[in-house]
Amino acid sequence: MYTLTLTKEEVSILKDVLEEYLSDLRMEVADTDKQDFRDHLKKEEETIKEILGTLSRMQSGV
For the chain, the structural domain boundaries read 8-60
Q: What is the pLDDT of residue 61?
A: 78
pLDDT band at 58 (very low <50, low <70, confident <90, very high): confident
Q: What is the pLDDT of residue 59?
A: 86
Nearest to 55, CA basis, from 8, 1, 2? 8
The pair phi, psi for residue 3, each rounded to 5°, is -115, 135
Cβ pair 14, 59 in contact under 8 A = no
CA gap 51, 35 in Å, rounded: 24
